[in-house]
Structure 1
Amino acid sequence: MPFDEQTTLASPTGAALNLYVKRAKGKPRAVVQINHGLAEHAARYARFADFLSMRGCHVFAHDHRGHGFTRAPDAPQGRFGSENGGDKVLADVTAVHDLIAADHPNLPVIAFGHSMGGLIALNFVLRHSSRIHAAAVWNANFTAGLPDRLALAILAWERFRLGSDVPSQLLPRLTFGAWGRKIAGHRTPFDWLSRDPAEVDKYVADPLCGWPASVSLWRDLFGFIFNGADDANFAAVRNTLPFNLVGGEKDPATDGGTAVEHLASRMRRMGFSNLVSTIYPQTRHESLNEINRDQVMADFAAWLDGILK
């Protein structure tokens, strides 16, 4: 089930991107470019990549800056960059997309992202929608309300007091910590990720997962959120572009999926006519690692079949 290839791609940002590739079994019909979430890495998507390869998709998935085995001079673990980290992340995504386009110029590309990766994928779409065939934005929260503005104020205070390149002391408590406490009778601090204890245990045991993010990385993430929360930024995106939105009814990171529903409602109001939104009952944050993951992946495959006709 592992990826077929692991290579290093030199990005114009100066990053050496750790890139995984899974080749389609049989005649290829599309490429899925995966963007992973915060404090994890692309290798965790090997099962999903194998599933997609069996259905005619090449899969490209890289570790973002400050994650996994990607290396950049200004981005140790937990940091996107010393300055303009969000822009550098999107430039890295574009570098992978350029490689895909060069290797497979005649195949449609689907931008896929989970959680933080969903923030990144949608921001990539807002800049480069003409380059993709469809987008899947899963378990991402673009609700830029008062709590988000308070979080930015906290980060500004931490940056003044501690600097940008150290782990935030308060944001982990307000996010990962708070989400963990919302799971009644939780066994670990990360039970909010999935109802499958084996998947949670793998995350907890993985040294490349669960680490604290820097003040600057959190600020970059809120930049993605506020960009995606501004309807004006969707003006250049064709309203026929297929979108697949997924959330979990018991996911505290998206307020029980309501943030996903809010994004879907906004986009429909803006005229996006080819949008599918699914909130899976009882599921938590990592849809691809939930106990109903077979159904989740089957539904995604059916959506792919529909948009690739």
Structure 2
Amino acid sequence: MIVHYFNTESYGIPIHAGTVSPKTIKGVVVLVHGFGEHSGRYLSGVVPMLTDLGLAVLFYDNFGHGKSGGKRGHCPGYEALLGLLGEMLDKSAELFPNVPKFLYGHSMGGNLVLNYALRNEGSLKGIIASSPYLRLAFTPPKWKLVLGKVLLKIWPSITMPSGLDADGISRKTEEVEKYRADSLVHDKVSPMFSFPIIDAGEWAINNASILKIPTLLIHGTADPIIDVRGSEEFHKNNPEYTTLELFEEGFHELHHDLCSKEVFNSIQSWLRQQL
């Protein structure tokens, strides 16, 4: 697998990105990683699964993540996150013209791809949202929420520990250890990053019915980080265009969990139908 990296800039911040493409290109996927991690974590599992179907993949590190610039865990705002995603979609159309376009987002990335599709009319062929961050599975301490909302107004760029428990990403101990050892993974989050994401998750659930793009939602029933009921509600509000696949006892990163083979089979089956 040959990876072609490129650098660009958005909102004055350097962005690290790259592409992988099969010999025959049937479509292109823009991949959006989760909070605190980076796109490189998808190159050994998710990306090959997509290229095996003849899909090119464009991936990037979000603001304040991975090899992109910006303060760790901070971004210019939610509209900037959606704006960067739009720029990456445009870039994918430039690099891989005249083929179907898909979005694939995990966790925070799932929040972004769903909200982007809900707010922008476009020519997307389909969306895959993996454990989409629509609602947290745990309630942060009340003092932290109160303080965070105050800081959002007076110091939106200050960062605090996100509170994410790495043990919840996978039932495979080796995957948790890899996550903890990854120098590009961080646990910092600013009020400007966290609160708009939370609000956008609830907005997406409440407005799911306006989505007119085939969408696959995948979620583990034992996800301790993002509430599976958020995905269930999104699907309930739009059963016509969404397909919900639940994986019993699955943790947050299904692509790194014990059920990853079944997850990849489900994704590939759904994508074949769209293609």
TM-score when normalising by structure 1: 0.81
Give the 5 Å matches for 1:71-150: 71=69, 75-81=70-76, 85-143=77-135
Q: Figure out how many residues of one structure are paired with residues of the other and give that number.
A: 272
Amino acid in structure 1 at the alignment position of 2:4: E
Cα distance in 1 for partners of 2:47, 2:90 equals: 20
Structure-2 residue corresponding to 1:4: 3
Structure-2 residue corresponding to 1:39: 36
Partner SS, residue 133 of structure 1? strand
Cα distance in 2 for partners of 1:167, 1:128 equals: 30
Structure-2 residue corresponding to 1:251: 223
Is it true that 1:61 corresponds to 2:59 in the alignment? yes
Cα distance in 1 for partners of 2:136, 2:254 equals: 23
Partner SS, residue 225 of structure 2? helix
Cα distance in 2 for partners of 1:203, 1:262 equals: 30
Cα distance in 2 for partners of 1:226, 1:248 equals: 19
Cα distance in 2 for partners of 1:59, 1:52 equals: 7
Higher helix share: 1
Cα pair 2:131 2:231 within 8 Å, conserved: yes
Structure-2 residue corresponding to 1:242: 214
Structure-2 residue corresponding to 1:260: 231
Closer, same or farther in 2 for the Cα pair 1:292/1:31, shift >3 Å? same
Closer, same or farther in 2 for the Cα pair 1:141/1:92, shift >3 Å? closer
Which moved further from structure 2: 30-39 or 47-56?
Answer: 47-56
Q: CA deviation at 1:300?
A: 0.5
Q: CA deviation at 1:286?
A: 0.2
Closer, same or farther in 2 for the Cα pair 1:102/1:191, shift >3 Å? same
Cα distance in 2 for partners of 1:27, 1:78 equals: 37
Amino acid in structure 2 at the alignment position of 1:23: S
| Superimposed CA distance per residue, residues 187-236 of structure 1 (whole angstroms, 9 cap, x where no aligned partner) | xxx111001111111100012113221122112312422431332x753x
Is it true that 1:206 corresponds to 2:182 in the alignment? yes
- Mark the runs of 5 or more structure 1 residues left unpaired by the alignment: 181-189
Partner SS, residue 245 of structure 2? strand
Q: CA deviation at 1:153?
A: 4.0
Amino acid in structure 1 at the alignment position of 2:258: I
Amino acid in structure 1 at the alignment position of 2:179: Y
Q: CA deviation at 1:97?
A: 0.6
Cα distance in 1 for partners of 2:209, 2:63 equals: 26
| Superimposed CA distance per residue, residues 120-169 of structure 1 (whole angstroms, 9 cap, x where no aligned partner) | 11111112242311111111242499x69x67544213446x72222236
Structure-2 residue corresponding to 1:296: 263
Amino acid in structure 1 at the alignment position of 2:6: T
Partner SS, residue 247 of structure 1? strand
Amino acid in structure 2 at the alignment position of 1:253: I
TM-score when normalising by structure 2: 0.90
Closer, same or farther in 2 for the Cα pair 1:230/1:262, shift >3 Å? closer
Cα distance in 1 for partners of 2:246, 2:131 equals: 9
Partner SS, residue 102 of structure 2? strand
Cα distance in 2 for partners of 1:54, 1:144 equals: 33
Cα pair 2:72 2:186 within 8 Å, conserved: no
Amino acid in structure 2 at the alignment position of 1:21: T
Give the 5 Å matches for 1:156-235: 156-159=149-152, 163-168=155-160, 172-173=162-163, 176=164, 180=165, 190-231=166-207, 235=210
Please tell me the root mean square deviation across aligned C-alpha atoms, in Å: 2.3
Q: CA deviation at 1:9?
A: 2.0
